[in-house]
Amino acid sequence: MRRPVQRPTRPRLARLLACAAVAPAILVAGCSSGSDSSQDAAGGAASKSAGAKPSPTVEAAKYGKLPQPCEALAGKTVEELVPKAKSKSGTAGKSGDVQSRSTCSWNGLDGYQYRWLDVSFQRFESDATLGSGEKRAKDYFAKQIDATKSTQDAKDLKSGKGEGIGEESATFAYGLKKGKDDFRNQTVVARSANVIITLNYNGTGYEDAKQPNSADLLKDAEAAAKKAVEAVAAENEAGGKVGSATSGSKSPEPKSSSDK
């Protein structure tokens, strides 16, 4: 005997229809949730972009050029400080970038009196990471002072402040023994804006000749340093203010000059 097909009752049919209606609602909710997440991500990115800080800038360096080192001191000055110089035009030091660092030296023997003179220039660019050219020059000025004070085998070193030599300057006088001879050494370190000028002047009297007077040597060294500072300003008078304010390159920092 065949059993009759049992049809769902009305309550059971209502439950099935309710379940069928829930599934699309879940799918719709899932899509809606994904859309909101994308909008939130885009909004967050836009917020970060709007809040990004601009690249830092610093004041441009005052001086963009250096003078030719062997022309920074007039021929008359060289003749007075180094009589009978081997080369009146001087000997330029090697440099990979003469607009960042340059040097020149002169030496000569007049009878038994020997003299040596050298001048060096160090220019600093402004750099967004390292600071302004002037700040960097100030830092290097302090390093040059410390280096001179630490001159090996220096005797009776006396330091002072230069007068009217750049924006700040320092002077040093000391003795130095080289072989059997005693040398009188004078060093002047000066800063003019973003440029450091270091001038060394020394001498001795060979074969028991009279030793040069330290006070006279220092006076001559200070006068020559003033001329070197003036040469920097003169070189930049014709539109030389081209210092970069955002350059990423660092000017090379030379070792401290030493007396010969």
Rounded CA-CA distance 234/43 in Å is: 56
- Round the average pLDDT of the chain to a whole number and report it: 82
Q: What's residue 3's pLDDT? A: 54
Query: How much is the pLDDT for 52?
Result: 55
Most confident of 30-39, 187-196, 246-255: 187-196
Which band of pLDDT confidence, cut at 50, 70 and 90, is reported for residue 74?
very high
- Whether 132 has a pLDDT exceeding 80, the answer reads yes
When comparing pLDDT for 218 and 42, which is higher? 218
Q: What is the pTM of this model?
A: 0.72
State how far the alpha carbon of 204 is from the alpha carbons of 84, 208, 213, 233, 242, in Å.
15, 10, 10, 33, 42
pLDDT at 125: 97
* 101: confidence class by pLDDT, cuts 50, 70, 90: very high
Helix (H, G, I), strand (E, B) or coil at 10: helix
pLDDT at 16 over 50: no
Please state, for a pLDDT cut of 90, what percent of the chain lies above it.
67
Long-range contacts of 70-75 (CB under 8 A, 24+ apart): 70/104, 71/231, 72/104, 72/119, 72/121, 72/227, 72/228, 72/231, 72/232, 73/119, 73/224, 73/227, 73/228, 73/231, 74/227
Mean pLDDT of 1-29: 49
Which has the higher per-residue pLDDT, 171 or 248?
171
Residue 14: what pLDDT? 52
pLDDT per residue over 208-250, tens digit each?
Answer: 899 999 999 999 999 999 999 999 999 999 654 444 343 333 4
Kind plus residue range of the DSSP H or E element containing 34:
helix 10-50
